[in-house]
Amino acid sequence: MNRSRWAAWFRLLAGLGILVALVWHLGSDAFLDGLRRIDAATLLAALAIGLLTTVFSAWRWCLVARGLGLRLSLGGAVADYYRSLFLNAALPGGVLGDVHRAVRHGRHSGDLGRGVRAVVLERTAGQVVLLVAGAVVLLARPSPVLAPVTRFLTSPAVALTAAAVGVLLVAVAGLLRHRRGASRAESALRTVLTEARQGLLARGVWPGVLLSSVAVLAGYLGMFVLAARVAGATAPSAELVPLVVLALLAMALPLNVGGWGPREGVAAWAFGAAGLGAAQGLTTAVIYGVLAFVASLPGAGVLLVRRSAGRRTERPQFEFEERVLAEQGASQRRA
């Protein structure tokens, strides 16, 4: 078994381990209660929020792809993004849908490498906005729950590390710009830095990328607050948002099963530390997971429609090839 497969199994088992530990300590009632509380109005609200976040995410992808010189229509991007969200939610790992989206677009555009890098840059932009917004929320809303996290983010060690990484990136970019005869690795790094500047920081790209990322983050926050209300949380939204941000940050950890695992663990800890009850935090995260899956269900429709269309396209081609082979066989027999 190669290293990548070992890493995939480790991520899967880690996510399962977190869920098992939560059930062991809090019982299964928090999971079952979350499922019982979801009604039709909540599901419709989840679909509406999902439509908002998916359209803005697809627009961000279009901006990045076009910045890299790739063609990508908004309608096609929305359909592909819905499908990737569904695959991310339905399959272990939480990233297989993005991989499929990147490879498919790269092949259709005729540049597989650039298509993959466009998706990586698009996802990176969303994560950066989440991290920045999370840091701002943690600094603006201090509380006993967030005090350890705030102290860590504002510690001199983190500041020095961030400054050192920034200086290193600038130095490497300057070195690669003025150096000739670079190795293959240096050329690849130079390409990545150039495409990051074109796909994210270009004058006609970055405002839209920033706006779409903020809109997507607002949708995620709204979905989580909706889940908290359905779970019975009565705390003010201003008190819930920092807890929600921590749960969203936990979702970025590659230790999950279709998105489940760290999100539930952090939500249970944060709600418990805030005095809202660990069980309520777990129920909130469970409801959010269900609503996020429901919001991705249009992607299943996209998957089925495109597979059906592909079969209808392949059948005439198969019949044509059969006729050609039959005619060739007949001509050879006559000869």
Which pLDDT score, from 0 to 100, does residue 218 have? Answer: 94
**Is the per-residue pLDDT at 54 higher than 70?**
yes
pLDDT tier at 317 (50, 70, 90 boundaries)? very low
Which pLDDT score, from 0 to 100, does residue 246 have? Answer: 87
**Is the per-residue pLDDT at 219 higher than 90?**
yes
**Is the per-residue pLDDT at 158 higher than 80?**
no
Label residue 46 exposed, middle or buried (CB < 10 Å: 0-12, 13-18, 19+): buried
Q: What is the mean pLDDT of residues 259-288?
A: 86
Using alpha carbons only, give the angle 242, 245, 246 rounded to the nearest 5 degrees.
Answer: 90
Q: Please, which residues have CB within 8 angstroms of residue 155's CB and are 6 or more apart in sequence? A: none
Q: What is the mean pLDDT of residues 9-16?
A: 62
**Is the per-residue pLDDT at 238 higher than 90?**
no
Using alpha carbons only, give the angle 218, 220, 221 rounded to the nearest 5 degrees.
Answer: 65
Q: What is the mean pLDDT of residues 138-148?
A: 66
Cα torsion 160, 164, 167, 172 to 10°: value is -170
Average pLDDT, rounded, for the chain: 79
Cα torsion 207, 213, 214, 218 to 10°: value is 160
Give Cα separations from 255 to 93, 108, 191, 245, 261 (angstroms): 8, 31, 30, 18, 7
Rounded to a whole number of angstroms, the distance between the first and last alpha carbons of the chain is 55
State pTM to two decimals: 0.78
Which pLDDT score, from 0 to 100, does residue 186 have? Answer: 62
Specify the higher pLDDT residue, 42 or 10.
42
**Is the per-residue pLDDT at 69 higher than 60?**
yes
Q: Taking the CA of residue 231 as centre, how many other CA atoms within 13 Å lie in the half-sphere pointing to its CB?
A: 33
Residues in the chain: 335
Above pLDDT 90, what percent of the chain? 29
35: tokens are 């499922």
Type of residue numbered 160: L
**Is the per-residue pLDDT at 204 higher than 70?**
yes
274: tokens are 């805030």
Which pLDDT score, from 0 to 100, does residue 4 have? Answer: 57
